[in-house]
Structure 1
Amino acid sequence: MAAFRGPRVWLWRWRRNPLRRRSDELESWLVLAAWTLALIAGLLAGLVSARSVEHSLARQRAEWHPVPALLSEKAPGSRAASAASTERVWAEVHWTAADGSPHSGQARVEPGSRPGTPVKVWTDREGRLVTKPAGESQAGLRAGLAGALVGASAAVVPLGGGRLLRRRLDQRRMEQWDADWARVGPQWGWKTG
């Protein structure tokens, strides 16, 4: 049989109650402030970080470009194994940058490729090797995930601070209870007529 709880009362923490202590009122405002700050901090931090990641990935798409390169050495592995799988291996490649300067570095190529095999690599403005930039949909997903993670992390700070303050309020209430009990408790042992 379920206990009768009565009608649900909105904002019950702020209603008049003769048993409400000052610390109860303080705790109610603390909970409200912690949740409000968590919501605001989480949203702002999430939106700012998502926008920053999206802007950074858009800049990469604009600045990074594909460059034809040639394999400098025979790639490890065999062509027979590469036909059955999509595995790629690291090998030395060389290319000429837009300013005409020669560059070399490691790139992923098909196993067993011969020297001189053309390979497409991605470079930045300075001609350094970079990974292929994220497409628009992939960039949107990365920005959304980064924003959600940063937003959740930022929201934890005010919630954690509020929890620590509530723990301190509980500790103070228990100390107050102990002091009151030490004062009143011995009176209960008296015999009454």
Structure 2
Amino acid sequence: MDARRTRKRLWRWRKNPLRRRDDVVEAWVLVGTWAAVVVGGTLTGVVTAHAADGVFEAQRAERHAVRAVLVTDARRPTAAVEGTGGQVVGKVRWTDADGASHTRRTLVDPGQKAGSRITVWTDSRGELAAEPPSATEAAMEAALLGAAAAGACSGLVVGAGAVARWRLDRRRLDRWGREWDLVGPEWGHKTG
């Protein structure tokens, strides 16, 4: 990059009789915005990913697989229900570690007969729970959540910087308009 280009990019920082106070403020707004995007976005992403990974790890530690028996036949669905992954509601029974028997309804694969053995997941209270994500799935989801949080934080910071620059532009235009109102009539040529 040649010296003229560098000087042109850094014009807001140089001594210049045409440089206004608002130009320096705008330069600092830009520097602050980019610093907040880099530092704040990264920090937000890392903290979010770490927190999500902790939640997933707690789920893997708390939930455990239990062998259950299907109490009723799992009929084939007559129409696909969105969000069930092709599964149907079936009644299952299992015995927890304390020897207590539980019967609940949960999603099972269709076409299974009563008496079929299936695996269900329970939480620390013995209630049915979703299967926890594997370590790989949890790492991928935590990374996606961290990236989304970093993007959201960066978007907010860039938006705030854009609003600040817009207000500075409005203020410059208003000042220019007031100055032109004072000087403009002296430059006009009157004909007639």
TM-score, scaled relative to structure 1: 0.85
Q: RMSD of aligned C-alpha atoms?
A: 2.0
Counterpart CA distance in 2 for 1:183 and 1:190 is: 15
Q: Shift of the alpha carbon at 1:55? A: 1.1
Equivalent position of 1:124 in the other structure = 123
Equivalent position of 1:70 in the other structure = 69
Query: Are 1:7 and 2:19 counterparts?
Result: no
Equivalent position of 1:45 in the other structure = 44
Partner amino acid, structure 2, of 1:124: D
Equivalent position of 1:142 in the other structure = 141
Displaced runs of 4 or more, over 6 A:
none
Counterpart CA distance in 2 for 1:143 and 1:178 is: 52
Counterpart CA distance in 1 for 2:189 and 2:141 is: 72
SS of match in other structure, 1:13: coil
Counterpart CA distance in 2 for 1:173 and 1:87 is: 62
Q: What pairs up with 1:14-163 in 2 under 5 angstroms?
A: 14-77=13-76, 87-163=86-162
Partner amino acid, structure 1, of 2:93: H
| Number of residue equivalences | 180
Counterpart CA distance in 1 for 2:86 and 2:162 is: 50
Counterpart CA distance in 2 for 1:120 and 1:92 is: 13
Aligned identity (percent) is 39
1:38 touches 1:157 (CA, 8 Å); kept in 2? no
Greater alpha carbon shift after TM alignment, 46-55 vs 89-98: 89-98
Deviations 1:60-91 (A, max 9, x none): 1122111011111111118xxxxxxx943221
Partner amino acid, structure 2, of 1:22: R
TM-score, scaled relative to structure 2: 0.86
Partner amino acid, structure 2, of 1:143: A
Question: Where in structure 1 are there 5+ consecutive unaligned residues?
Answer: 79-85
Partner amino acid, structure 2, of 1:126: R
